[in-house]
């Protein structure tokens, strides 16, 4: 049974930082065989992709325009964990953040087709 468990959410003030973690268990293959991503969903809005990362070392990454230069996605394969470091946070970053995974079929990152999802962690940024 595959599980993705997010942690690290909370309430911060604008301009502050927060780091989310997502630890995975139950993958049929090695953790490094999976591309990873973070998505978020704000109240009344559709879910949107925030950051994407390819498999293995995670050297190929892509970010939503709204977070470029402020957020960083990374992975620790031995710990089966993916991170989202968020800096200079803004009230519009307030959302439930979800970790997602999909089996990679190449070295690129993926923006769609994610198979496995976490339960989400709430991030609230006050002004």
What is the tens place of the pLDDT at every residue in 86-110? 999 999 999 999 999 999 987 889 9
**Separation CA 111–CA 124 (nearest Å):** 24
Residue 108: per-residue pLDDT: 87
Please write the tens of the pLDDT for every residue from 5-17.
999 999 999 999 9
Beta carbons of 65 and 48 less than 8 angstroms apart: no
| Contacts (Cβ under 8 Å, ≥6 apart) of 107 | 54, 55, 56, 60
Please report which confidence band the pLDDT of residue 58 belongs to, taking 50, 70 and 90 as the band edges.
Answer: confident
Q: What is the pLDDT of residue 107?
A: 81
Q: Hey, CA dihedral for 76, 4, 111, 124, is it positive or negative?
A: negative
pLDDT at res. 44: 94
């Amino acid at each position: 049974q595959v599980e993705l468990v997010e942690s690290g959410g909370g309430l911060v003030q604008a301009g502050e930082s927060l780091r989310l973690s997502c630890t995975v268990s139950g993958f049929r293959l090695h953790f490094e065989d999976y591309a990873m991503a973070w998505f978020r969903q704000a109240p009344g809005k559709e879910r949107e992709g925030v950051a994407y990362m390819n498999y293995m070392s995670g050297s190929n990454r892509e970010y939503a325009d709204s977070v470029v230069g402020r957020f960083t996605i990374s992975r620790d394969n031995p710990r089966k964990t993916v991170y989202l470091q968020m800096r200079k946070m803004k009230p519009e970053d307030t959302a439930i953040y979800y970790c997602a995974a999909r089996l990679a079929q190449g070295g690129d990152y993926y923006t769609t087709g994610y198979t496995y999802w976490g339960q989400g962690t709430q991030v609230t940024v006050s002004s």
